[in-house]
Amino acid sequence: MTATNIFDLTGKVALLTGASKGMGRAMAGALAAHGARVVVSSRKLDQCVVACDEINAECGERRAFPVACNAGYREQLQQLVDTTHETVGPVDILVGNAGVNPYYGPMSTIPDDAYDKIMTTNVKANHWLVQMVTPDMVAAGSGSIMLTSSVGAFSPSTDLGTYSMSKLALIGLVRNLAAELGPSGVRVNAICPGLIRTDFAEALWNNPEAEARARESIPLRRLGEAEDFCGPAVFLASDASRYVTGQAITVCGGSDMWS
């Protein structure tokens, strides 16, 4: 049997936003398990510390480092990047997983402040973050950027319209960045979750209707779990995906297979 290190991330530095729990926590743990040093950020430092302690215990050594950051503010993102440089070095892997949805209802009645918060945190903040870390990747001649979009990007919604629009805009950002950064060896892709059993999406899945819909309409007959993102994150971060860029990869149990 031929040995392979195609998924080995030893020596790589990964920076993740929205990573203290849920999908972000799962992806951070998976990247660390494959050798990367990971900076785990979210708004609450105590939650980041707990996540890093768990990851380090699982790895048997210190591979995770907590940094508090509200991704909706440019100055905090810059401090996050600066702290990453000081603590572990230049960034090789970026996972922009932080996102918000403070409004549930039709776009016709969304307040300006809610609209601005959604678009700033979900789209503009990821653009800022990419601008801050790509000099590291361009200098190295390689790098992988993953931004969390949603299957909501592929269809309209009468209740989550602005959120879905922000996630479609994020795919547009990914494609343009992939075209711009490709010649420098930097890959950029979007991960599009379906209905995942996380705290963020609890209002959508924690009801009998959602469970019934999962059993009846999702081909794999279940809701997604945070751990379902471990493999995709490692794949996109590693040389296993070295010829994959500009893609919107759905992780949805088959619910959006035609998107």
Tokens of 186: 């930097």
Asked if 18 contacts 24 with a C-beta cutoff of 8 angstroms, the reply is yes
Region of 89 on the Ramachandran plot (φ > 0 left; ψ -120 to 50 alpha; else beta):
left
User: Among candidates 21, 13, 68, which has minimal Cα distance to 229?
Assistant: 21
User: Among candidates 40, 42, 106, which has minimal Cα distance to 72?
Assistant: 42
Asked if 101 contacts 123 with a C-beta cutoff of 8 angstroms, the reply is no
Tokens of 60: 């048997």
Please tell me the total number of residues recorded for the chain in this structure: 259
Residues serving a catalytic function are: 163
- Measured CA to CA, the distance from residue 242 to residue 249 in angstroms comes to 15
Under 8 Å CB-to-CB from 113, ≥6 apart: which residues? none
Strands 186-193 and 248-251: parallel
